[in-house]
Amino acid sequence: MPLPSEALQQSFLALDRMRASELVAVAATELPPLQVIETMVRPALEAIGQLWEQGDCALSQVYMSGRICEELIDGLLVGSASDASRILTPQVAAPRLAIAVLEDYHLLGRQIVRTVLRAGGYEVLDYGRQDVEELLDRVCADRIEILLVSTLMLPSALRTRMLIDGLRRVSPQTRVVVGGAPYRFDDQLWQEVGADAVGLHAGEALTIVNRLTGEAP
């Protein structure tokens, strides 16, 4: 018999909302919402990200899994006295996180990463599409500690160097995590642009953020 997280993963990949909902509902009779998310939902999403990286599932499945996951999390939190971020945020002080897409209108990757981080208990400011100057201003104003930057096109990825150089001057405490297609085709690119880490699939986001904040994954 598969573990609950594996069964949930299979229901995500099959885009079987009903089965996913049943699995979570059964778990929720025995465990508090945070534990259901941490032991079932989060591992399922991370495993699906890994499958995509290996070429064993498609991006449409990753995105639609995230969409179902968002509905499940919302369902778990219905009736709770606390808001989502308070329930999901770990007890230790959470870092101030933001995510942005640099210069592109392709926003899918950022949405998937947001969902994974939410399942991991993090609240993430979503800046959407940004240019370098605008993004620098927002990161400073919001005192962001970890910035996740998604790009689709190579020139946008290269422009991340300018962003990071700017951040080192005006917000040196901010760590930068990059991701997106160019990094998947050039394994030295993230270091060239001066990033602190690269995520090759959304499932890595939690591990990276935990590592940068000094927590064990």
- Tell me which residues touch other proteins (CB under 8 A): 15, 52, 55, 57-61, 63-64, 67, 103-108, 111, 153-156, 158, 181-182, 184-186, 188-189
Report the alpha-carbon angle 201-162-192, nearest 5: 55
Between residues 121 and 182, which has the closer beta carbon with respect to other proteins? 182
Minimum distance between the CB of residue 192 and other proteins, rounded to whole angstroms?
8
Minimum distance between the CB of residue 209 and other proteins, rounded to whole angstroms?
22
Minimum distance between the CB of residue 10 and other proteins, rounded to whole angstroms?
13
Q: Can you tell me the distance from the alpha carbon of 13 to that of 9, in angstroms, rounded to the nearest whole number?
A: 6
Between residues 14 and 26, which has the closer beta carbon with respect to other proteins? 14
User: Are 140 and 89 in contact, with CB atoms under 8 Å apart?
Assistant: no
Between residues 60 and 80, which has the closer beta carbon with respect to other proteins? 60
- E-strand ranges in the chain read 97-102, 124-130, 146-150, 175-179, 197-199
User: Are 158 and 109 in contact, with CB atoms under 8 Å apart?
Assistant: no
Q: Can you tell me the distance from the alpha carbon of 59 to that of 162, in angstroms, rounded to the nearest whole number?
A: 29
Between residues 143 and 184, which has the closer beta carbon with respect to other proteins? 184
Cβ-proximal residues to 58 (8 Å cutoff; 6+ apart), any chain: 52
Between residues 112 and 177, which has the closer beta carbon with respect to other proteins? 112
Minimum distance between the CB of residue 6 and other proteins, rounded to whole angstroms?
18
Nearest to 115 by CA among 47, 57, 66: 66
Q: Can you tell me the distance from the alpha carbon of 150 to that of 104, in angstroms, rounded to the nearest whole number?
A: 9
Minimum distance between the CB of residue 92 and other proteins, rounded to whole angstroms?
32
